[in-house]
A and B are shown apart, each in its own frame.
Chain A
Amino acid sequence: MRELVIRNLRGALTAVSDIVAEALPRLLAMAIIVLVGWAIAWVIEVILRRLLVLARFNRLFESKGVTRALSIAALPSPAEMISRIVFWIVWVSFILVGVNALGVVALQREVSAFVGLLPQFVVALLIIFFGFLAANFFSRAALLAAVNANSPSPRIVSGFVRFLILLLAITMALERVGLGRGVVLVAFAVSFGAIMMGLGIAFGLGGRHVARRILERRFAAGRERREEKDDEGSHL
């Protein structure tokens, strides 16, 4: 009996030590891969950041409104952002290689599922990024047009344009990563429709006198418009 217990215990200990002996090098390998990966990613990030600063990379984007769009989104400058993105791409790649080195089948399956989703994430990020740019550009265009046309509340018009474009971009991005695909689309359609209907009702009922005046001015043979232009004089 005693011998049996000892034998079983020894067997269990041997099995555990075998598992540990087998897993420890793998864990160690993973830790080394992750650490070395972090170091390589950091070096690449530093070098890339310096190169981009030397090449005045940020200036390329200032005129296009990218820098402003990034600051609105509380994001760093383009050079900083690109170097950080490269750091994470390199390091995450090393982490995935490290996890793979563990040889755990279930984990390997999760890793490949995650890798499969990565391109969708990148595309979604790009959609949001360009959405910010477009929202910034068109909202400013709307603001300037409204100011120069002497329209009431130009900032509201501009803010509304920004909101719509961002809403569209975020919806597209979420749809891209497959996050609540149906729910997001329905939510977008419902809220967009509600906004438009709300505006229509507000304008047509609440502001019907204003609406009438605008329509009259727009279609009444342009007489008033001409008078308005005359008042501006000839500037050339």
Chain B
Amino acid sequence: MAEETFLSDEFVSQLTAVGEVDILVGLPTFNNRDTVQRVVNAILVGLVKYYPRERSVLINPDGGSKDGTTEAVQAASIPDFRAVLASNPLRTMHVVSALYPGVQGENEALRMVFAAADLLGAKACALISPDLESATPEWIDALVRPVLKDTFDFVAPIYQRRRFEGLLVKNLLHPLIRAAYGYQLEEPVGREVAFSGRLASYFLGDESRRENFAGLGSHVWMTTAAMAAGYRLCQAFLGPRVTSSRRSALDLNTTIQEIAGALFRCMELHQSYWTSRQTLEEVPTFGFQPVLNLDPVRIDRRRMFQMFSSGVDDLGSVLEKILSAETLQAIKDTSKLDEKNFRFVDELWVKTVCEFAASYHHSVINRDHLLQSLTPLYRGRVSSFILENARAEAEEVERRLELLRHEYERLKPYLVESWNRQT
């Protein structure tokens, strides 16, 4: 087992002491002391309540926290089993913490989880974020059950979204992945996912894992790699996702660079798969979808429009290398519209995304620069989307999003053609 070599001796000896397991939960942390104890409690309660007979382990790769996160993880326990309507667990609950080089980011943490799953022969693995405030024991069951009981290989979450939340997912990631890879998966960058032991072994051995995806890019890679390798996918309702994360304050430009960059790179890695795929597969969905009235997300639409408008004006010389003359002209015309009549129509947006993906593939300019120049255009799309849906009911918004997804599917040949074009 070549991958064992990167694990520290201490970590391997801790894993050896654990022995074989049925369920492995990965909890990568880095300075998450404020929330991690609550998350660990939810995980432990979930395991005890729903899987008292299964052998379980919680693996906590830590990026070198200075705030006592690992101590908090180790100290977490279930104070009163009556509270969770369960008797004492039949098996010992193992919690293993190990350091990974923080500079290498979440990639390395995931690698440790995959290696541990492979080493311990885990049947089902779940990944949980340490900054969650809304995690409940039911999340563990919702994620693990389809793998353990229904032999699915990858479980993606479905979160209950606030109005205008996750617009990058809705306008770019979800429809592009759906059109290209042919799977109707709601959340392609879900932070809470589950996968089978055999998929963990595949992830561990897959050469593309060595790509240095930043931030959440590795989650895009996991989802698309599972699709491209033909593993069985499903999704599970988890409810609203509330975090205390500093990530939410991460600027839009960085988010787009991480996520869109990872998706375009994955499309390169899996190009032989998606360019020839014609079918669209429905993904089974498990769980109960709660209907909650959540406050809408606050977005300053005018500021978005103004940044789009001035961005298009300033970035003309950069955009002309990325976009076709026709698309660029249409965007320029759009940016000159009056703010109230402004519409970044579906067709134009989808063509823009396709041309960006193809230009990324052909490396027409430095790739970081290319991704950065997508941000002002995305702001324009968001501004238009909010304007269009300001008074729309949830069903109407969903209908419009479905139209957008169909537009991506209709323009897939355009994407493939641009992608394969010789420059």
- Residues of chain A having any CB pair with chain B under 8 Å: 59, 62-65, 68, 137, 140-141, 143-148, 150, 154-155, 226, 229-236
Contact = CB atoms under 8 A, between A and B. Distances in A.
Interface stretch (B85-93, B164-172, B200-208, B268-276): B164-172
B369 interface: yes
A235 B252 contact: yes
A235 B167 contact: yes
B298 A144 contact: no
Contacts of A137: 366
B318 interface: yes
A231 B366 contact: no
A235 B250 CA distance: 10
B165 A143 contact: no
Interface stretch (B40-48, B114-122, B175-183, B371-379): B371-379
A148 to B, nearest CB: 4
How many chain B residues sit at the interface, stated as a range, is 35 or more
Nearest to B245: A234
A226 B246 CA distance: 11
Contact of B249 (A147, A226, A235): A226
Contacts of B251: 148, 229, 232
Interface of B: 164-169, 189, 216, 248-249, 251-253, 255-256, 259, 297-300, 303-304, 307, 310-311, 314-315, 318, 321, 362-366, 369, 372-373, 375-376, 382, 423
Contact of A155 (B314, B366, B375): B314
B160 to A, nearest CB: 13
A140 B375 CA distance: 15
A231 B166 contact: no
Given A148-B253, A234-B297, A141 B166 contact: no
B355 to A, nearest CB: 16
Given A63-B364, A63-B366, A235-B255, A143 B315 contact: yes
A147 B314 contact: yes
24 contacts: A59-B423, A62-B363, A62-B364, A63-B364, A63-B365, A141-B369, A144-B315, A144-B318, A144-B369, A145-B372, A147-B310, A148-B253, A154-B314, A155-B314, A226-B249, A229-B249, A232-B251, A232-B299, A233-B164, A233-B297, A233-B298, A234-B165, A235-B167, A236-B189
A144 B256 CA distance: 13
Contacts of A155: 314
A233 B307 CA distance: 15
A65 B366 contact: yes
Contacts of B259: 236
